[in-house]
Structure 1
Amino acid sequence: MTIISAEQVGNRLNDWRIAIRKHDVHSAKAMYAELKVLLQEMEENQEVLTYYSLLEGKYKLMLYERRGEKLKEQTDLDCPSKTNDLIEYYFYLYKALYASYKRDYASAIGLFEIAEKKLQHIPDEIEVAEFHTKIANLYMLLRQSLVSLHYIQNAIDIFKSHEGYERRLATAFVIAAANYMDIGDFRRAETYYKKALHTAESLNDHFLISQLHHNISILYAEVGKSKKCIDALEKALSHEDYLSSSYFHHTMFMLMKELLSIDERTQALYYFELVKQKHATEKCPIYTAKMNLLYHLYFTNDMAQKARACFAEISILKELRDAEGVCELSALAAKHFEELGATHQAYHFLKEAYHMKHPIIDWRNSNEKNEFIDFRFKHRSFRTNRGYQFIK
């Protein structure tokens, strides 16, 4: 068997790295298959193997972001020796991204800080843009909108000046849009979403277009435009590959929630049955809990039974560390019970939502509790409908 030099494989790994950075799924998949063969024939070289393992992790994260392919539990890698700045940087970046994916945001921030120091030794503008995109996404999830906007604008400026990074530019536009939505600038948010859609349509990337329709539906839900939200969600679900991706669950959850918000119960029930069949073969515990809660909230008649069932699903979401889901659905349940005149149940769900946003909250006296019960729900009392796609 012919032995292939480590340098030759290393050069091909660099090509793979560029395809991954561009989110060029087709090329990256072809190179992945090729590299698995090359590595079996390569001379022994631990540095190249480490480089490959880190890129493989980034590749699988890219497939999750770009195609909704599920991520399996990752194998911990040993910290590389101080021999290669790029490998060291990728080590900490990958660990930060995976920590963020696992919702371990405290660890993710620390790892991003280390990665940022390593990045200073890498004279590559696209790597800087990618890093800024990833950390902007993290700060967006943590509602640090102004910090996130600072990072993402830097990324947008860089991606705009390089050909072949249109998909990354679309990603950056979505992060900018989400931040503007968080600070209440809905006009600018819609502008950025439309820029992203225009970019995806120019690439004729139908899966990306579906993702972007899902993302813009979040804006329409936020401003109370249910018809436009439902239309965008149905467009997202019109692509066959999208239906088989992990993103299907969140889009379907949003669709059912929006249908129920305008009392389209018959259509919502139809979708409930579809999802129930899918969950029978494809386990998705977070969205199973979310959809069960919706079902009990709108279709269980006995008030006490309804409240118990909804609290049970909230408990499951807590165990799964879905703080966003707990906050959103507790607030939704509180609003629903208030509308039914069940103030006592509404208070408990609203308190749950506030505990999730402000963990130190504590009722010192009955006046505080009564004031809390008297709170009247506003559309933007709680941020809802989060779960942006391909920017995790």
Structure 2
Amino acid sequence: MNLLAPEKVGGKIVEWHSCLMAKDIESAKAARDQALIAVEKMKPDDKMLAYYQLISMRHDLLTNQKNTTEWNEVERKTEEYLYFMYYYVSGQNEFLHGRYKSAIRTFKIAERLIEQVNDPSEKAEFYQKLGISYYRIDQYSFASSYIEQALEFFEKQSLYKENELVCKMVLAAIESELSRFDSAESLFKELIELSKPYPFRRGLIFYNMGMNRLAQKQLEAALSCMEQALSIPEHARAINGIKSRFYVANIRLRLGLAVADLSTIETEIKKLKLDEFSARSQVVRGLYLDNDLALVESGIKKLEDNQLFFECSEVCEEVAQHFELKGDFSTALHYSKLAIAKKKHQTIMGIEKSLSV
């Protein structure tokens, strides 16, 4: 059975919590049933389970008129913490659906209540999530600040090594996108060593290291990283395994090497509804296989329609380089200008970045 992401389950609990805050008992009962079904299918997550249990207790007390005194006491003790959880979990749900600016707005409300959180690990995880959200919309100063706050805790705690890996991976990605490639490479190499006990994270680190090298147009080195990522079963089986396979095909085509059937990868991308990679595959097919500029334009438009301007800029740079190598400098110049124009949109709209965490 495919288990539900805790963030998705949290969305159901938030709906239930909203009904309780509105004292809408009938709607709360229906929302509780939906939340219970979701919790039973949830991936293990102690924090989300604790949130569910607190809301369940509030529901029981609110609907039992005999416990008015007990209800008031519980409400007084837990109200501000539960408001924190309400906005924190709401932000997680927004993040899960790629609505990063909305996630940040919701997280910032939660941040006002952070003093109600007594557990330092919970605070650190909150700062980590807020930092990643800022990264997603290119606000690197804010992203680094929150990630470093989280890292200050995680580095001192042996139980949170995976959180440490995630934080350092985000910092490495920021260095890469600021064109500080040597610094990014150094961080990624450190992460390769640290991630040996964590194969899933290790696969993601190789993937993101490959993206750093791809940004520098080090195609052979990028290909090696993607292939190393795919050699790890935990990565190959995950959704990011499909992304790595796409980049292996993409890079091999750019290098003029034989490539496995792209159609199989395209079918999996379509099945998983990966809009970004659906658009990218159109560009790749149009550019290297079908010699169809209309297909390239269609892929670029799909990225624009989804407001994936960072990815659109990357693709346009690739198209420009392709035509430059062919000696078609007029077309190359057109796509170079388009890449610059799309890059200017990065800080305006929330976008889905290439970093995978």
Look up the match of 1:210: 203
Q: Does 1:115 align with 2:105?
A: no
Residue 389 of structure 1 aligns to a residue whose secondary structure is coil
1:356 is aligned to 2:356: no
| Counterpart position of 1:236 | 229
How far apart, in 1, do the equivalents of 2:238 and 2:255 lie? 27
Quick one: which of 296, 299, 317 aligns to 1:331? 317
- The more displaced of 206-215 and 146-155 is 146-155
- Residues 357/102 of structure 1: CA separation in 2 closer, same or farther (3 Å cut): farther
Give distance in 2, aligned partners of 1:229 and 1:313: 23
Matched-pair contact (CA < 8 Å) for 2:100–2:136: no
- Three-state SS of the structure 2 residue aligned to 1:247 is helix
Distance (whole Å) between structure 2 residues aligned to residue 296 and residue 145 of structure 1: 34
Report the TM-score when normalising by structure 2. Answer: 0.72
Report the counterpart of residue 131 of structure 1 in structure 2: 126
Aligned to 1:368: none
Q: Which secondary structure does the structure 1 equivalent of 2:239 belong to?
A: coil
**Higher relative contact order (Cα pairs below 8 Å, separated by 6+ residues):** 1
Give the Cα separation in 2 of the matches to 1:143 and 1:334.
Answer: 24
The answer for the alignment partner of 2:245 in structure 1 is 252
CA distance in 2, matches of 1:48, 1:109: 32
**AA in 2 matched with 1:286:** E
Paired residues of 2:242 and 2:268 also in contact (CA < 8 A): no
Contact map agreement 1:218 1:386 (CA 8 A) in 2: no
Q: Distance in 2 between matches of 1:127 and 1:200?
A: 22
8 Å CA contact retained: 2:88, 2:110: yes
- Give me the whole-angstrom Cα distance separating, in 2, the residues matched to 1:194 and 1:43: 44
CA 1:282 to 1:136, structure 2 compared with 1: closer, same or farther past 3 Å? closer
Q: How far off its partner does 1:234 sit?
A: 0.8
Shift of residue 168, structure 1, vs aligned partner: 0.4
Q: Does 1:295 align with 2:285?
A: yes
Q: Is the aligned partner of 1:317 residue 2:303? A: yes
Conserved in 1, the CA contact under 8 Å of 2:151 and 2:164?
yes
The reply to whether residue 388 of structure 1 matches residue 318 of structure 2 is no
- The Cα of 1:310 is off from its aligned counterpart by 0.8
Query: Match for residue 89 of structure 1?
Result: 84
What letter is aligned with 1:253?
F
In structure 1, what is the Cα distance between the partners aligned to 2:148 and 2:44?
A: 32
- The structure where helix makes up a greater share of residues is 2
**Distance across 1 between alignment mates of 2:232 and 2:76:** 45
CA deviations 1:15-35 (Å, max 9, x no partner) are: xxxxxxxxxxxxx84578xx7
**Cα pair 1:169 1:196 within 8 Å, conserved:** no
1:135-162 Cα deviation digits (max 9, x unpaired): 2222223333333222222221211122
Q: Take 1:158 and 1:245, find their aligned partners in 2: how far apart are those partners?
A: 29
The TM-score with structure 1 as length reference comes to 0.66
Q: Structure 2: 5+ residue runs without aligned partners?
A: 1-41, 62-74, 347-351
Counterpart residue identity of residue 102, structure 2: S
> C-alpha distance in 2, partners of 1:256/1:285?
18
Tell me the equivalent position of 2:163: 168
The CA distance in 1 between the partners of 2:340 and 2:177, in whole Å, is 18
Q: Which amino acid aligns with 2:157?
A: H
Whole-Å separation in 2 of the counterparts to 1:241 and 1:48: 41
The 10-residue stretch of structure 1 (330-339 or 290-299) with the greater mean CA deviation from structure 2: 330-339
Q: Aligned residue for 1:275?
A: 265
Change (3 A) 1:163 1:107: same
Deviation string for 1:301-350 (max 9, x for gaps)?
3xxxx222111111222233322222211222123233334444334433
Letter in 2 for 1:180: E
Contact 2:199 2:234 (C-alpha < 8 Å) held by counterparts: no
Q: What amino acid is the match of 2:220?
A: K
3-state secondary structure, aligned to 1:99:
helix
State the one-letter code of the partner of 1:297: L
Distance 1:43 1:351 in 2: 53
Match of residue 190 from structure 1: 185
The CA distance in 1 between the partners of 2:281 and 2:155, in whole Å, is: 40
Structure 1 letter corresponding to 2:91: A
Q: Secondary structure at the match of 1:164?
A: helix
For structure 1, list consecutive stretches of 5 or more residues without a partner in the other structure: 1-27, 50-79, 361-384
Alpha carbons 1:145, 1:182 under 8 Å: kept: no
Identity of aligned residues (%): 20
Please give the alpha-carbon distance, in whole angstroms, between the structure 2 residues aligned to 1:81 and 1:107. 29
Alignment CA distance shift 1:161-1:43 (3 Å): closer
Task: For 1:141, give the aligned amino acid.
Answer: R
The offset of 1:297, in angstroms, is 0.7
How far the C-alpha of 1:101 sits from its partner, in A, is: 3.8
Preserved contact between residue 323 and residue 329 of structure 2 (Cα < 8 Å): yes
Q: Which residue of 1 aligns with 2:256?
A: 263
Alpha-carbon shift at residue 106 of structure 1 (Å): 2.8
* 2:112 match: secondary structure: helix
- For residue 116 of structure 2, give the secondary structure of its aligned residue in structure 1: coil
Counterpart Cα distance in 2 of 1:211 and 1:358: 28
Q: Which residue of 2 aligns with 1:284?
A: 274
Amino acid across the alignment from 2:155 = K
What is the CA–CA distance in structure 2 between the aligned matches of 1:99 and 1:288, rounded to whole Å? 23
